[in-house]
């Protein structure tokens, strides 16, 4: 009861199943829940582009604008693709479902494995980045960065365990504060630029050099680095069922909002970084430099920095919203344990939330809360799943050929080709740095999924009633294992006699004097049940009893034996420590025995 009270305090009161429709998300909270991961990339996507381009010199930074515009086009393509996927899959357009349905189980499992890994990395990277922003402002907290990160993960997990509506309310305010802060920065920045009030640039980007002088591979690396801006787009399509009715319409509207906001913020930051001549620095982010040049410090500077830090931490919420739902889909198909398909007290897939929190916390501890150590593992999975999902949609349009199918197939085809190229570039450019780990993990996960599915199929085949002729006649023997004769044993003997007329009491003799005393009382209190005494020359309780059990079961293949264990239950929990736990030992030894049933008959003692 105390444990239930503690759980109720942190998680909240249980909700009835009928409340599920009322716990769904509207468009405003849905954008906050599913978009924080994608929107948070505004804080670092442009910087990732500039960090690659600066390798070719300051003049190469001018390529950031065309690269940013190209990524915006990809964002538009992917958003439009997922809007079509939502219509085709109103039950949830997960990359796993789309790939499995159109390209086969191997493709679906690859997408599922890639996304599960990427969601876990999203939590670890986002929270670590948020803590890094905090410790940069307050250096005294740096030694405690791992503890802070793990605490934040626990807090976000707890908020999600309380239910999607409550977590949506919790995360909506910071998300919209971040959007408002960046829009304010963009408005002020472009106003100063258009009015000629741009402060002296640190080092003007200059005119872009020719592509040949910079190198096509470097430009592709810069493009792939900035393409992290696309991470999290799939979350809305995966969570269609979390929206209020009409689910499909609301999900499509949220995707449109997300695409428009994301493209505006990302391209705006990229253009301003170029015209203000921002050069990436180790000690200061690109957004921080921009805000400083535009507002010159003050309240607005610290406000935008604060909301940027918060949105980076809350980006983990998208993974907490989507990982459990993807796990549900895979558990429903028999590729993950069925526990992932069970809703908790608050109508959320709580097992998925807990597992994600534990896995992300473990990653943070292993990598010491270092964002730079985790980044090489990041984004490989999400672009792999993007490519498989959009390739699956292309095949779907060719197979079903609805109206304007060729146009839809073309959009998805361009998206598949683009994201496939990005995935290949990320994998090759970051392979040695750690991307190979993700590739190996995907293979391991797929093998694990298949082994789980194989187990469930075998269980289903062996339990199926199809072609089943009915069970053969069985013989039932009940054995009451006694170590003494007291009120609890008498009660157990009475219960055993109701199960089968073939009931015996079994006593393993460890001390002949105790046997004599037991037999003396048995005639009066044995309830007419015959007593079988097994000698044990080596003072072993289990050995002689298991031999006797083997002897009984060898009499016929369908000989069922029920073992009745009398147990007295002390009034206080600590009093259990004063008594032998023989019953627990016996149950453990009989756990995997075929045709053996073990049942306890408790006798509760008073205080």
pLDDT, tens digit, 9 for 90 and up, residues 194-218: 887 765 444 444 445 555 556 777 8
Selected residue with higher pLDDT from 448 and 90: 448
Q: Cα(601)–Cα(607) distance, rounded to whole angstroms? A: 19
Q: Cα(524)–Cα(489) distance, rounded to whole angstroms? A: 13
Q: What is the mean pLDDT of the chain?
A: 82
Express each pLDDT in 24-54 by its tens digit.
Answer: 778 888 888 777 778 888 877 888 888 888 8
Highest mean pLDDT among 87-91, 187-191, 244-248, 461-465: 187-191
Do 412 and 494 belong together in one domain? no
Whichever domain contains 416, its CATH number is 1.20.1740.10
The helix (H) or strand (E) run that includes residue 181 is helix 164-194
Express each pLDDT in 302-312 by its tens digit.
Answer: 888 888 888 88
Assess if residue 457 is contained within a domain.
no
Do 206 and 318 belong together in one domain? yes
Domain that holds residue 91: 2-452
Instruction: Find, among 384, 389, 367, the residue nearest to 442 by Cα.
Output: 384
Q: Cα(366)–Cα(563) distance, rounded to whole angstroms? A: 47
pLDDT of residue 453: 95
pTM: 0.75
Cβ(564)–Cβ(478) below 8 Å: yes
Instruction: Find, among 151, 153, 117, the residue nearest to 357 by Cα.
Output: 153
Selected residue with higher pLDDT from 232 and 487: 487
Residue 339 has pLDDT above 70, yes or no: yes
Instruction: Find, among 554, 93, 16, the residue nearest to 322 by Cα.
Output: 93
Domain boundary, last residue among 452, 485, 517 = 452
Q: Cα(164)–Cα(239) distance, rounded to whole angstroms? A: 11
Q: Cα(418)–Cα(386) distance, rounded to whole angstroms? A: 10
pLDDT of residue 376: 64
Express each pLDDT in 379-417 by its tens digit.
Answer: 778 888 889 998 999 999 899 888 888 888 887 888 788
Domain boundary, last residue among 417, 452, 487 = 452
Do 87 and 11 belong together in one domain? yes
Residue 37 sits at the vertex; the CA angle it makes with 32 and 38, to the nearest 5 degrees, is 95
Do 17 and 65 belong together in one domain? yes
Assess if residue 333 is contained within a domain.
yes
DSSP label of 144:
G
Q: What is the mean pLDDT of residues 349-365?
A: 91
Assess if residue 462 is contained within a domain.
no
Do 97 and 197 belong together in one domain? yes
Cβ(435)–Cβ(426) below 8 Å: yes
Assess if residue 178 is contained within a domain.
yes
Instruction: Find, among 532, 555, 534, 530, the residue nearest to 544 by Cα.
Output: 534
| DSSP structure string for 442-489 | HHHHHHHHHHHHHHHHHHHHHH--TT---PPP-EEEEEEEESS-SHHH
Residue 3 has pLDDT above 60, yes or no: no
Q: What is the mean pLDDT of residues 511-525?
A: 85
Do 513 and 418 belong together in one domain? no
Bridge partners (DSSP) listed for residue 477: 561
Confidence of residue 4 (pLDDT cuts 50, 70, 90): very low
Residue 452 sits at the vertex; the CA angle it makes with 447 and 454, to the nearest 5 degrees, is 90
The pair of structure tokens assigned to 206 is 């200059």
pLDDT of residue 214: 65
pLDDT of residue 36: 77
Tally of structural domains, the chain: 2
Highest mean pLDDT among 387-391, 411-415, 472-476, 590-594: 387-391
Q: What is the mean pLDDT of residues 454-470?
A: 88
Cβ(95)–Cβ(330) below 8 Å: no
The pair of structure tokens assigned to 80 is 């439009």
Do 274 and 143 belong together in one domain? yes
Do 425 and 538 belong together in one domain? no
pLDDT of residue 497: 92
Do 196 and 68 belong together in one domain? yes
Residue 15 has pLDDT above 60, yes or no: no
pLDDT of residue 222: 83
- Least confident window among 47-61, 145-159, 209-223: 209-223
pLDDT of residue 372: 64
Do 413 and 512 belong together in one domain? no
Assess if residue 470 is contained within a domain.
no
Share of the chain above pLDDT 70, in %: 88
Burial pattern 148-157, b for ≥16 Cβ within 10 A else e, equals bbbebbeebb
Instruction: Find, among 355, 328, 326, the residue nearest to 343 by Cα.
Output: 328
Confidence of residue 599 (pLDDT cuts 50, 70, 90): very high
Assess if residue 239 is contained within a domain.
yes
pLDDT of residue 283: 65
Do 290 and 330 belong together in one domain? yes
| DSSP structure string for 190-202 | HHHHHTT-PPPPS
Whichever domain contains 559, its CATH number is 3.40.50.620
Assess if residue 62 is contained within a domain.
yes
Do 163 and 285 belong together in one domain? yes
Residue 584 has pLDDT above 50, yes or no: yes
Cβ(252)–Cβ(34) below 8 Å: no
Q: What is the mean pLDDT of residues 286-295?
A: 86
Residue 235: Cβ-neighbour burial (10 angstroms; 0-12, 13-18, 19+): buried
Assess if residue 107 is contained within a domain.
yes
Q: What is the mean pLDDT of residues 437-458?
A: 94
Domain boundary, last residue among 399, 421, 452 = 452
Confidence of residue 492 (pLDDT cuts 50, 70, 90): very high
């Amino acid at each position: 009861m105390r444990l239930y009270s503690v759980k109720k305090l942190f998680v909240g009161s249980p909700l009835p199943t009928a409340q599920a429709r009322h716990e769904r998300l509207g468009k405003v909270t849905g954008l906050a829940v599913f978009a924080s991961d994608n929107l948070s990339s505004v804080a670092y996507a442009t910087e990732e582009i500039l960090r690659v381009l600066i390798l070719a010199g300051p003049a190469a930074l001018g390529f950031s604008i065309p690269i940013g515009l190209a990524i915006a086009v990809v964002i538009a393509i992917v958003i439009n693709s997922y809007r079509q996927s939502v219509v085709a899959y109103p039950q949830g357009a997960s990359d796993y479902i789309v790939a499995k349905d159109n390209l086969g189980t191997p493709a679906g499992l690859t997408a599922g494995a890639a996304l599960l890994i990427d969601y876990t990395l999203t939590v670890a990277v986002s929270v670590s980045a948020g803590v890094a922003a905090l410790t940069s402002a307050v250096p005294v907290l740096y030694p405690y960065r791992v503890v802070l990160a793990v605490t934040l993960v626990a807090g976000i997990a707890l908020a999600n365990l309380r239910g999607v509506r409550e977590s949506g309310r919790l995360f909506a305010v910071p998300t919209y504060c971040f959007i408002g802060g960046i829009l304010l920065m963009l408005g002020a920045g472009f106003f100063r630029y258009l009015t000629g009030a741009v402060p002296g640039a640190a080092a003007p980007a200059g005119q872009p050099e020719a592509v040949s002088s910079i190198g096509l591979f470097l430009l592709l690396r810069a493009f792939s680095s900035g393409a992290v801006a696309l991470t999290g787009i799939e979350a809305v399509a995966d969570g269609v069922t979390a929206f209020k009715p009409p689910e499909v319409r609301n999900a499509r509207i949220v995707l449109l909002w997300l695409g428009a906001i994301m493209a505006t913020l990302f391209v705006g930051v990229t253009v301003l970084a170029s015209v203000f001549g921002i050069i990436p620095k180790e000690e200061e982010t690109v957004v921080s430099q921009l805000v400083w040049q535009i507002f010159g410090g003050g309240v607005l500077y610290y406000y935008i920095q604060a909301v940027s830090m918060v949105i980076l931490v809350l980006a983990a919420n998208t993974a907490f919203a989507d990982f459990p739902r993807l796990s549900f889909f895979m558990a429903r198909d028999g590729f993950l344990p069925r526990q992932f398909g069970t809703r908790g007290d608050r109508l959320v897939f709580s097992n998925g939330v807990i597992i994600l929190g534990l896995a992300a916390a473990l990653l943070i501890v292993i990598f010491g809360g270092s964002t730079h150590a985790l980044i090489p593992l990041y984004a490989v999975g999400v672009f792999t799943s993007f490519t498989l999902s959009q390739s699956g949609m292309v095949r779907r349009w060719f197979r079903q050929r609805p109206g304007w199918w060729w146009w839809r197939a073309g959009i998805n085809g361009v998206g598949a080709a683009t994201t496939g190229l990005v995935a290949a570039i990320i994998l090759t450019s970051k392979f040695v740095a750690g991307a190979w780990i993700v590739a190996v993990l995907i293979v391991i996960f797929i093998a694990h999924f298949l082994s789980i599915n194989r187990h469930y199929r075998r269980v289903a085949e062996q339990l199926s009633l199809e072609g089943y002729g009915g069970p053969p006649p069985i013989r039932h023997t009940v054995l009451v294992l006694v170590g003494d004769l007291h009120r609890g044993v008498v009660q157990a003997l009475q219960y055993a006699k109701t199960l089968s007329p073939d009931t015996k009491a079994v006593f393993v003799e460890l001390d002949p004097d105790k046997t004599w005393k037991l037999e003396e009382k048995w005639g009066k209190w044995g309830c007419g049940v015959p007593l079988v005494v097994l000698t044990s020359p080596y003072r072993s309780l289990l050995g002689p009893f298991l031999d006797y059990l083997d002897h009984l079961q060898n009499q016929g293949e369908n000989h069922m034996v029920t073992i009745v264990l009398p147990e007295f239950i002390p009034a206080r929990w600590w009093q259990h420590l004063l008594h032998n736990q023989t019953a627990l030992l016996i149950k453990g030894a009989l756990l995997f025995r075929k045709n053996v049933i073990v049942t306890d008959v408790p006798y509760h003692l008073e205080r």
